[in-house]
Amino acid sequence: MLFSELADYYNRLEAVSSRLTMIDIMTELLNKSSKKEVAHIIYMTQGVLAPPFEGVEFGVAEKLVEEAISVATGYPKEEVEKDYKRQGDLGLTAQSLCGASKLKRMNANKNSVTEVYKTMLDIAQTSGSGSKDGKIRMLANLIAAATPLEAKYMARYPLGQLRLGLGDSTILEALSKAYTGSREFKGQLERAYNLCSDLGTIGEELSAGGPKAIEEFKVTLFKPIRPALAERLPTAEAIIERMKGRCAVEQKYDGFRCQIHKSGSRIKLFSRRLEETTEMFPDIIKAVQNEVRANKIIFEGEALAFNEATNEFFPFQETIQRKRKHGVDEKASEMPLHLFAFDLMYLEGEDYIGKPYERRREALEHVLKSSKTIIPSTMILTSSAKELDDFFRTSVTNGLEGIVAKDLTAPYVAGARKFSWIKMKRSYRGELSDTLDLVIIGYYLGRGSRAEFQFGGLLCAVYNSSKDVFETITRIGTGFSEAQMREFKQELDKIRVKAKPPRVDAMMEPDFWVYPKYVITVKADEITKSPTHTCGREKLADGTEVGYALRFPRIVGEETVRPDKSIEEATTTKEVIELFNQQKKVGVEEE
């Protein structure tokens, strides 16, 4: 396929906001893709070069794209910058300056999708001294031979901002339609995707081996499994009732989630977001090598920094210092990590995902029998709410976050939040027991004393996973430090869009919309019903419509934009409704 055709599809995708229409356009695009190029097209559409765990990054800043546009069109850098300031989007700048290029245009572009993809990969992989000039040259060559529409996406792609509004779920649904003629196959595709976290591979397998290849798809070493997530309930009684009696209850540790893949001496670690973190944790790697009695294994746990002087674990705020790219070894000896292992997904060629918790735990304990650094999470088996509650209280007294109860008969549910794992966390008076992860979809200008920062607050949304849209839940207007206001303004300006972005469902209008990209963690006192927010909005008997909102929302600590969570991993509408119902129940019990 020619890149110009792909650019046409992107242009069509950008112009629509209905999810169904997006699926149809994407289906048409996939139908036209050959077996060889389907993976490339999927990665490009996701705005990446490879799945996140491969760690291929463009390493391209806006200034570099500006320079490439300047070289490709003959406009001086200052003019490119001026146009960018005016339009707020380097893609649009590339498009208009290409359309009015001062240079003689090369022949009409005949670059194929694969050629463009490969050049983009070269741009990403060029490193070392002088690499900046090389990257500029390669990008400029592409843009110089492009049509204005192609140039728009060529400039946006290396910045990771295609702005198409397509989520993984939409791509999966389109794959299902394109290769089986119906949306019914999406469940199977999702299952396979949860096992390898790589949409490109899924597209390739499906186009080469048909639905059968997907049905038979298995866990693969060194391709991370999308992590199982926990539901939450507020009381020990509710947990025992939901588990229908006997269950396992484990301590809940507040550190880094690590997924470990080992085959002989080859070992890799992946974070909760499935990025490779092998280099960051040499102490864990060494322990896996020396202390785990297995040749081929995939298992999971929570890593915590240990204070050898006091014989206690460091709190999370300290542990987080271990997540670094430089000075790794010094920090590792200052704050060695211990890993509390809590699940096993694969062992010596055998898939454990589908086996019940009891079997997985038994095998996990066996392989860790003689390990000192990697310890199975502390766990009890119980059917008594009192015993569960006592265990919870002791855990909290010992400085832990709470507990996670686990269904003894359930498989490992990759990539989903299900009641096979139920968490109960400590809460503070007058505060929701859990924080919420919200997606920033707009911001407000500052007034009064805030005017100088040009930032007065955020409009935030939760993710409605069944509709695949983002629904507003709160406007956060207070509690920002000056540094935070400055950083929000600076980062959000880069992703400003003129109109409500696709997949956003909102009734309020912020001063500026932003493309959904960043997730922030928010605390609140309560969830209330609200006529102005779209989260969980439904029609009441009297015809009025209400949704849910947060009371006294505030962001946690000094946090600003956080790239470690994807927008689809934000708190969901369903979770907000559950939290709302739980808060009601607790209230009733107290009365």
Taking the complex as a whole, the smallest distance from the CB of residue 376 to ligand AMP amounts, in Å, to: 9
Given the complex with ligand AMP, which of 166 and 436 has the nearer CB atom?
436
Provide CB contacts within 8 A for 224, sequence distance 6+.
53, 196, 197, 259, 261, 270, 274
Given the complex with ligand AMP, which of 40 and 232 has the nearer CB atom?
232
Q: Tell me how far apart the alpha carbons of residues 426 and 437 are, in angstroms, rounded to a whole number.
A: 18
Taking the complex as a whole, the smallest distance from the CB of residue 88 to ligand AMP amounts, in Å, to: 35
DSSP-assigned letter for residue 181: S
Active site residue 82: no
Contact of 380 with 246, CB cutoff 8 Å: no
Task: Report, in this order, helix, strand and coil percent for the chain, each rounded to 5.
Answer: 45, 20, 35
Taking the complex as a whole, the smallest distance from the CB of residue 201 to ligand AMP amounts, in Å, to: 24
The torsion angles phi and psi of 505, rounded to 5 degrees, stand at -115, 110
The residue number with the shortest CB distance to ligand AMP is: 257
Taking the complex as a whole, the smallest distance from the CB of residue 257 to ligand AMP amounts, in Å, to: 3
Given the complex with ligand AMP, which of 252 and 355 has the nearer CB atom?
252
Q: Tell me how far apart the alpha carbons of residues 352 and 300 are, in angstroms, rounded to a whole number.
A: 12
Nearest CA among 209, 218, 40 for reference residue 119:
40
Secondary structure (3-state) at 25 = helix
Given the complex with ligand AMP, which of 360 and 423 has the nearer CB atom?
423
Given the residues 135, 152, 177, 252, the one annotated as active site: 252
DSSP letters spanning 356-387: -HHHHHHHHHHHTTT-SSEEEPPEEEE--HHH
**Angle at the Cα of 110 from the Cα atoms of 60 and 204, rounded to 5 degrees:** 70
Tokens of 131: 């690499």
Taking the complex as a whole, the smallest distance from the CB of residue 478 to ligand AMP amounts, in Å, to: 25
Q: What residue ranges bind ligand AMP (CB under 6 A)?
A: 230, 250, 252-253, 257, 272, 302, 342, 377, 404, 423
Given the complex with ligand AMP, which of 22 and 303 has the nearer CB atom?
303
CA R_g for the chain: 25
Taking the complex as a whole, the smallest distance from the CB of residue 557 to ligand AMP amounts, in Å, to: 16
Q: Tell me how far apart the alpha carbons of residues 139 and 158 are, in angstroms, rounded to a whole number.
A: 9
Given the complex with ligand AMP, which of 554 and 565 has the nearer CB atom?
565
Taking the complex as a whole, the smallest distance from the CB of residue 580 to ligand AMP amounts, in Å, to: 17
Given the complex with ligand AMP, which of 29 and 388 has the nearer CB atom?
388
Taking the complex as a whole, the smallest distance from the CB of residue 563 to ligand AMP amounts, in Å, to: 17
Provide CB contacts within 8 A for 230, sequence distance 6+.
404, 417, 421, 422, 423
Given the complex with ligand AMP, which of 253 and 281 has the nearer CB atom?
253
DSSP-assigned letter for residue 228: P
Q: Going along 426-511, which residue ranges are E strands?
A: 436-444, 457-464, 469-476, 496-497, 504-505
How far CA 266 is from CA of 259, 269, 284, in Å, comes to 14, 11, 13
- Tokens 């492009």 locate to 146
Q: Going along 134-183, which residue ranges are E strands?
A: none
- So which residues are the catalytic ones? 252
